[in-house]
Amino acid sequence: MNHKGYEGFISYDDEAKNFHGEVLGIRDVVTFEGDCMEELEQAFRESVDEYLAFCAEKGQMPDKPFSGRVVIRMGPNTHEKAAIKAKEKNMSMNKYLVSVIERDLQLA
């Protein structure tokens, strides 16, 4: 689910017999729920809109979802091995790490 650049993650609660979800990629907890996909989609859009209105009311900048920038920390040994592997493949460290992640996620 996507609305105004925000992504929603959906689960089904077998006990409650409804769908619930959360907006991904932001620090605040923004949730939504519905008994069918139509209700769920509407609740998701309303939750995103309410989050943006709340931020505007408070004078805060809303979190921007998934900018594409990720800062990672790794041990020196891992860093060295990754740098060597990237060099062997004639890739930048960034391009190499992205390729490893995409392969693991089966996106490549």
pLDDT score recorded for residue 107: 78
pLDDT score recorded for residue 66: 73
Would you call 65 exposed, middle or buried from its count of C-beta atoms within 10 A (0-12, 13-18, 19+)?
Answer: middle
The 10s digit of each residue's pLDDT in 36-66 is 889 999 999 999 999 999 999 999 999 987 7
CB-CB contact of 7 with 23 (8 Å): yes
pLDDT score recorded for residue 99: 93
Mean pLDDT check: name the lowest of 8-17, 43-52, 54-63, 74-83. 8-17
* Residue 108 binned pLDDT confidence (cut-offs 50, 70, 90): low
